[in-house]
A and B are shown apart, each in its own frame.
Chain A
Amino acid sequence: MMLATPSSGVIKRTRVAVRRSVLRGQLQAVAAGKSESLTFDPDSAAVDVAALVRQVTAGQRPDSLLHQRLAGAFQRSGIADIVIDQLAAADAALRTRSAQLAGVLGMTHAVSWISPLLSAKEPAVRTAATRALGRIGGTQSAHALLRAIRREGPRRTLLVELARAAPDLFLETALCETKRTGAQSAVAIAAGLRGRRAAVAPLLALLASGNRRERVASCRALGWIKAESALPAVAGALGDRDWRVRVSAAKAICRLGADGYLPELEALRSDPNTHVRKTVRIAIRRLLNTTEWPKEWAWR
């Protein structure tokens, strides 16, 4: 009886699984402090090293000892230098993988090489670079993300990663820039996602004097921050001439749980705009019943 020869696909998958397992073992040994170096081929496309590092460091802070050990091991093994070299490679897949790895390892010194990838033609490279800068964080990363937002508009990934990367008082100062940059509404959203109370005053200023987009973003951000001190200003926005601002203000009041403003919300039940009426209906229901947060408001 002859044994069936495994197909080349099976052999390939098995090899990849074995290499992945070996690399995971190496990473775990470094993370546990049992080993100080790594030996693998960073050019190999078969194993997603960044995903493995993410697995090993799951639940750890970016400045944890475990992260530092891994970053040190990559540095000592010379792989970190190869990763930086590959950030300028012609192959888009290679650049994507390198950006991902630089991100999970928190390679601050790679920011200058990752930043140009934000304007890459390939969406995968752009996304990987955006996420990498978000993970690395710091002023330089935040500046790069902010420039990308100004250039390309407020893409969702860019906003989320800007909120993650921005150091303290970065978004607040960006909100207060007197020079009109076209990114104020995006920065306001990022400030809201970040949830720092220091952003309340700049957001209020933006709500008072911004354009329609900025007022909408400010209201939402103030709601996310749960800035109770901003309630009068947000309630004032219920009477805004633009229906989008009124919707945003109603959502913010709902998010803030300000049932003292129910009469103002009730008055909007007869708003000429159907979106406002629907939002107000949901907001009132939420404020009165304290039911779960409406799923349709998850991200808008």
Chain B
Amino acid sequence: MRPENHLGPREVLTGTGRRSTPILRQHPETGRPAYHEMVARVAVLERAAVFFSLPEGVLRALARRLRRVTVASGEMIVGQGEPGDTIFFIEHGRCRVMIERPPSVVTVAVLSDGDVFGEGPWLLKRPQQASVYAQTDCTLLAVDRQSLQLVLGRDRTAIENLTRVADHRFRTFADTTVQATWGTLFKEATVVGVYSPKGGSGGTCLSLNVVGSLARRYPGQVLLLDLDFPYPHAALLAGLVPTTCLARLSQVPSEPFEEALLSAVLYHSGGPMILAGSLRPEEVEEVTPELVTRAIGILRKTFRYIVIDLGVTISDTTLALLDLTQHIVLVAAPELSAVKSATDAIDILIRLGTPHDRLSVLLNNRSMKPAVTRPAVERMLNRKVDIEVGFDYSRPDQAAVNGEILSITNPRSEITRGAEALADLLDAIHGQDRSTTFAAGRSVPASGHPGHA
């Protein structure tokens, strides 16, 4: 009988195994992991959705049963359509989730540290919905169905929560696949930058509602690119949960970039599409001017309007985007500091070469009795306010809690009126020269808005 640790003559001669760089590597497991190893494993489990709420004892029991696997960049981890029995936690690295939908392959998510995948087959009793490939060298922690059943078997709440997450992810991926296969239908989109020089002016809220208004006229053809760093929350306000973002596409090679980018776009049932700039503050650095320029170049071929929430800061990326925009909407609140910031911002924009007719000022009343009146604001800005949005009470906050977009759900809202006015303005300036281009496309106006054809 051959002993288990017997080395062949070649290994004895070379002193190593046959392959110096294995594609997959399973770390040697002992019966009971060391203390620091357990701490590391529990930390990974705690970062994962649903698992963080499990009791300490359950997490430790689960951590003991984890097996660590290293996967080389580009290797397949899970195959679409195959039966699966393992949940993977990403300890380090990034993984691409791809759905094959002949003739195309759609990247539906890019997962990174702390994310989980592979839960669908166990919880939903379906084959793997997507293939998962290692985008970088990855270290994964794998736990099989048997171990999970043993540990979580009696915790019905945990399994129900996991099932809910798995089901939500399944539906999101399915929607993303459909939208990403729409393909390139149009010519160039109009890029609109929404810039609010003072935080809390309602820039994100207005961007979202303008996109909602435009999307009612052109369903599926309007995109909100949320670059309000470091905390872009447009998707959250719309009740969507992004699984990937622009920042995570920074390392995607040029060939599958377009498909990965379009797959990262979230679809709201009301018509607008949202692409998150980053999901975590530390990912902001990944969004470089080059990445943004490359992304806008692709998105312009796919959408009719791209509204970019530029946020507050002026960075290299913002400057690169300002070059790419056809229209800039400056959002100001009727407060002294906000108006002063707006004055400075207009000065900068004019000096950067923004034509006056492509710059609109939107005054957003965040209180019932603003401290600074509209004439005073216009005096300070030295230009007219194009659109004024009335005070909307708690409707924007309530809509955010409900995950609704006011311009889609509440036509009486002041925000809706302001967003509609801005959409009219944009259509008036940028819509005419595109009417012939879009006549043959899929720009079917929403049935409730015949006047916006």
Across-interface contacts of B150 in A (CB, < 8 A) = 108-109
Which range holds the interface residue count of chain B? 35 or more
A169, A180, A196: the one contacting B18 at CB < 8 Å is A180
Assess whether B8 is interfacial by the CB under 8 Å rule. Answer: yes
Distance A63 CA – B75 CA, assembled complex (angstroms): 29
Distance A173 CA – B144 CA, assembled complex (angstroms): 15
Contact indicator per residue, chain A 179-191, by CB within 8 Å of chain B (1) or not (0):
1111000000000
Contact A173 B4 (CB under 8 A): no
- In chain A, what residue has the closest Cβ to B68? A173
- In chain A, what residue has the closest Cβ to B84? A168
Distance A176 CA – B22 CA, assembled complex (angstroms): 5
Q: Which of B56-91 contact A (CB under 8 A)?
A: 65, 67, 69, 71, 75-79, 82, 84-86, 88
Across-interface contacts of A51 in B (CB, < 8 A) = none
Contact A167 B23 (CB under 8 A): no
Contact B145 A176 (CB under 8 A): no
Assess whether B293 is interfacial by the CB under 8 Å rule. Answer: no
Distance A52 CA – B330 CA, assembled complex (angstroms): 75
Distance A296 CA – B336 CA, assembled complex (angstroms): 88
Distance A226 CA – B11 CA, assembled complex (angstroms): 32
Tally chain A residues at the interface, Cβ within 8 Å.
41
Distance A201 CA – B152 CA, assembled complex (angstroms): 33
- In chain B, what residue has the closest Cβ to A210? B18
Stretch at the interface among A10-18, A132-140, A257-265: A132-140
Contact A61 B142 (CB under 8 A): no
Assess whether B395 is interfacial by the CB under 8 Å rule. Answer: no
Distance A180 CA – B125 CA, assembled complex (angstroms): 37
Q: Which of B14-38 contact A (CB under 8 A)?
A: 16-20, 22-26
Contact A150 B19 (CB under 8 A): no
Contact B145 A202 (CB under 8 A): no
Contact A139 B147 (CB under 8 A): yes
Across-interface contacts of B86 in A (CB, < 8 A) = 167-169
Assess whether A178 is interfacial by the CB under 8 Å rule. Answer: yes
Assess whether A200 is interfacial by the CB under 8 Å rule. Answer: yes
Distance A182 CA – B1 CA, assembled complex (angstroms): 11
Assess whether B149 is interfacial by the CB under 8 Å rule. Answer: yes
Contact A168 B17 (CB under 8 A): no
Assess whether B449 is interfacial by the CB under 8 Å rule. Answer: no
Contact indicator per residue, chain B 406-427, by CB within 8 Å of chain A (1) or not (0):
0000000000000000000000
| Contact flag A173-B18 (CB < 8 Å), given A63-B149, A108-B150, A136-B146 | no
- In chain A, what residue has the closest Cβ to B1? A151
Nearest-neighbour CB distance to chain B for A132, whole angstroms, equals 13
Contact A177 B22 (CB under 8 A): yes
Assess whether A45 is interfacial by the CB under 8 Å rule. Answer: no
Assess whether A172 is interfacial by the CB under 8 Å rule. Answer: yes
Assess whether A197 is interfacial by the CB under 8 Å rule. Answer: yes
A167, A169, A196, A200: the one contacting B145 at CB < 8 Å is A167
- Residue among A106, A141, A167, A195 with max Cβ neighbours from chain B (10 Å): A167
| Contact flag A180-B7 (CB < 8 Å), given A137-B144, A139-B144, A198-B78 | yes
Assess whether B101 is interfacial by the CB under 8 Å rule. Answer: no
Nearest-neighbour CB distance to chain A for B221, whole angstroms, equals 36
B1, B19, B85, B146: the one contacting A205 at CB < 8 Å is B19
Across-interface contacts of B17 in A (CB, < 8 A) = 177-180
Contact B149 A202 (CB under 8 A): no
Assess whether A147 is interfacial by the CB under 8 Å rule. Answer: yes
A106, A176, A181: the one contacting B25 at CB < 8 Å is A176
- In chain B, what residue has the closest Cβ to A202? B23
Contact A197 B82 (CB under 8 A): yes
Contact indicator per residue, chain B 87-122, by CB within 8 Å of chain A (1) or not (0):
010000000000000000000000000000010001
B4, B25, B131, B144: the one contacting A167 at CB < 8 Å is B144
Nearest-neighbour CB distance to chain B for A27, whole angstroms, equals 21
Contact indicator per residue, chain B 115-147, by CB within 8 Å of chain A (1) or not (0):
000100010010000010000000010101111
Contact A176 B147 (CB under 8 A): no
Across-interface contacts of B7 in A (CB, < 8 A) = 179-180
Contact A198 B76 (CB under 8 A): yes
Across-interface contacts of A169 in B (CB, < 8 A) = 24, 69, 71, 77, 86, 88, 140, 142
Supplied contacts A170-B67, A176-B23, 18 more A-B pairs, CB within 8 Å: A108-B150, A109-B150, A138-B146, A167-B86, A167-B144, A169-B77, A169-B86, A170-B26, A172-B24, A173-B69, A178-B18, A178-B20, A180-B8, A180-B11, A197-B76, A198-B77, A198-B78, A205-B22
| Residues of B that sit less than 8 Å from A by CB | 1-2, 4-8, 11, 16-20, 22-26, 65, 67, 69, 71, 75-79, 82, 84-86, 88, 118, 122, 125, 131, 140, 142, 144-147, 149-150
CB-defined A-B contacts under 8 Å, sample of 27? A63-B125, A63-B145, A106-B146, A108-B147, A137-B144, A137-B146, A138-B147, A147-B4, A168-B78, A168-B144, A169-B69, A173-B26, A176-B19, A176-B24, A177-B17, A177-B22, A178-B16, A180-B6, A181-B4, A182-B6, A196-B79, A196-B82, A201-B23, A201-B75, A202-B23, A205-B19, A205-B22
What are the nearest 10 A-B pairs in CB distance? A178-B17, A138-B146, A173-B26, A167-B144, A168-B86, A176-B22, A197-B79, A176-B24, A198-B76, A108-B146
